[in-house]
Amino acid sequence: MLREHDPVQFRSLRSLLKTKLIRLGEFDRLIEQRRRERVASRKRNRAGAAPRISRTADAIGQAPRAAGGGIQVGRYLANAQGLFLLKSSGRGAPPITLPLANFTARITAEIRRDDGVDATREFEIEARQGGQTRRLVVAAAQFASMKWVADQLGARAVIAAGMGIKDQVREAIQLLSTTQMAERTVYTHTGGSRQISRAGGVRRSSPPHAWHRRQPVHRLGAISQLCA
């Protein structure tokens, strides 16, 4: 509010209104009404954000499990038809399944590339859509925007319309990937390429020019098999 952030300009505005024969009492009443509306709006936003934060925090600590013909973690489900949001419909009633995307994706590896000056991260992603599987690499900095979906999967990969849907798809992919994601560090400044892999807490080193994919033991088996 102007009165709170710039009292001098606020008083100047009141003086200007007074010269225009505008009733200052009515002006002050409208200002106070607007202030109360802003306070009430902030309270509603905080009240609505708390359950969302709680649900996300609960989901982060959960392991994916087999359900609904696919894999579920928290409020998200991935199966052969795509990604879905499971929304509560009341006590004792089964959740409503809301479509988020007509494809599934999981991060199979997180790669850190170190050239001795800068380090960048990339995600190896396995995506399934319409019975086809594609493997792609996405820069970590570009992952959250979800623009890579159209760029690399094409027009047939559809994310549902709606506010916050892209962010829910991004969250679902990350949560569904956490138990089976390998980590690799590739050093490119040692006269070749030296790779260090971490999988299941084990650290391995490969000689220059070696490029071996190592995956951790899946706690639930491959998602690709359950979602096929």
Task: Decide if 100 contacts 85 (C-beta within 8 A).
Answer: yes
* Alpha helix segments (H runs only) across the chain: 2-5, 7-19, 24-60, 140-143, 148, 165-177, 223-227
Quick check: 140 and 70 in contact, CB under 8 A? no
Of 120, 112, 113, 127, the closest CA to residue 176 belongs to 127
Helix axes 24-60, 7-19, angle to 10 degrees: 140
Which range has the worst mean pLDDT, 88-92, 111-115, 150-154, 181-185?
88-92
* 27 three-class SS: helix
pLDDT above 50 (res 220): no
Question: Per-residue DSSP letters for 142-168?
Answer: HHTT-THIIIII-TT--BPPSTTHHHH
Q: What residue type is 72 in one-letter code?
A: Q
Q: What is the pLDDT of residues 21-43, one digit of tens each?
A: 556 566 677 677 777 888 888 87
Q: Name the range with the highest mean pLDDT among 65-79, 130-144, 198-212.
A: 130-144
Give this prediction's pTM.
0.60
Angle between helices 165-177 and 24-60 (to 10 degrees): 20
pLDDT-based confidence at residue 92 (cuts at 50, 70, 90): confident
**How many angstroms separate the CA atoms of 16 and 22, rounded?**
9
Residue type, 169: V
Domain residue ranges in the chain: 2-51, 64-100, 104-227
